[in-house]
Amino acid sequence: MGWDVHLVTSPGPELDEHKIQNYARCHEIRMKRGPALSDGPSLIKWISLLAKIRPDVISAGTPKAGLLGMLAGTIARIPNRIYVLRGLRLENTQGFQLFILEMIEKLTARCATQVLSVSPSLRDLYVSKGLTRPEKIVVLGHGSSKGVDTSRFRPALVKERQTLEQMRAQIGLRPDVPVLGLFGRHTKDKGFPIFFDALRQQELAELPLQILAVGDDESAGSFLSGTDSLAHNFVSLPRAKDLEVYYRMIDVLCLPTLREGMPNVALEAQSSGIPVITTTATGAIDSVEHRRTGILVSKGSVGELAWAIALLVRDKSLRDSLAGNARPWVLDRFTEERVNADHLVFYSALPISPRQSR
């Protein structure tokens, strides 16, 4: 059975790229991340589009697209409504904001016929908070929303090393000094204030170490201001399409996150043969095997994070051991091919009436 795929998203450069690739029919519906007056008109557009397409299955992720898509799918009586749970925004919130976000999640999950979680710990948290029934939410395989392109994210070849050294020098990285990577959006939820506090700890202040940060700054300037008092060489670059090259420039990836769904950067780094330091936060805890492919530290702990960084910077043999285990671990669990196959089996098994089949 083939699939006639329609992609619904807000306008932007990513949508333009999808249009060029031409693997799906693209539809633009402007959606704001947070609550907005435009949510009503956006919902009407969703309902109108679904009434026109009459899909057998609707699959929606992100909090806003999930809410609008599941509501519209229910109103339009789409038989299979899959809410893809990629993370939980209500973590680390409190008060009235927490109440609103819980109501949104409960409504979204109620409108869905099934909830697809991208990690086991995220599923467990969702159920423990009473956001849906245990039998309604599933994890495919070991999790992940898309898996890892392991042919792209791989260790550097011998013939590439000289070029990589030249590129490192061009962006300001010093030779023969371990490089700690900080990849992804620069937001408070990613734990960058904790990261900077860890670097200021005495055990790290005089340690030979440099940092390569790659990602968009969504911190209103507080990210770069946090680097002012650091003693270490700090190189910051915007989000890059050729991210696989930058993984090959670092020795350790650090992800001091406070919440995740399933962090792609952790899996991509390990596929590239790079050990990962991350936290016991939701999602992140599933992305590393502690003491085998990386180090897990308590969420929000400055002291533990500083200890883990110092340990891997000082101990090259441990670093190399973790790196040697990292790629095989990803190859066994999180390849793009495996994750895609799990999704294909899941969607192909959904009940589709013969009269609705194309």
Show the domains of the chain with their CATH numbers. 6-147+338-348 (3.40.50.2000), 158-334 (3.40.50.2000)
Residues 79, 50 contacting (CB under 8 angstroms): no
> What average pLDDT does range 231-237 have in this prediction?
89
pLDDT at position 198: 93
Q: Is 192 left (phi over 0), alpha (psi -120 to 50) or beta?
A: alpha
> What average pLDDT does range 31-55 have in this prediction?
92
Per-residue pLDDT at 252 exceeds 70: yes
Residues 251, 178 contacting (CB under 8 angstroms): yes
pLDDT bracket for residue 35 (50, 70, 90)? confident
Integer Cα distance of 336 and 146 in angstroms: 6
- Higher per-residue confidence, 21 vs 56: 56
Taking only the tens place, the pLDDT of each residue in 165-194 is 999 999 999 998 999 999 998 888 899 889
Lowest mean pLDDT of 200-214, 246-260, 275-289, name the range: 200-214
Integer Cα distance of 187 and 307 in angstroms: 23
Integer Cα distance of 45 and 74 in angstroms: 14
Q: Which of 239, 14, 261 is nearest to 119 (CA)?
A: 261
Per-residue pLDDT at 355 exceeds 70: no
Half-sphere exposure of 131 (CA within 13 A, CB side): 30
What integer best gives the mean pLDDT of the chain?
92
pLDDT bracket for residue 95 (50, 70, 90)? very high
pLDDT at position 18: 67
pLDDT at position 203: 82
Joined together, the tokens standing for residue 178 give: 């371990």
* Prediction pTM value: 0.93
pLDDT bracket for residue 354 (50, 70, 90)? low
> What average pLDDT does range 250-263 have in this prediction?
97
Q: Could you tell me where the beta strands, DSSP code E, fall in 34-136?
A: 57-61, 80-85, 114-117
Complete edge-to-edge strand list for the sheet that includes strand 294-297: 233-237, 210-214, 179-183, 252-255, 276-279, 294-297
Integer Cα distance of 276 and 154 in angstroms: 15
pLDDT at position 62: 87
Residues 283, 261 contacting (CB under 8 angstroms): yes
Lowest mean pLDDT of 60-64, 260-264, 281-285, name the range: 60-64
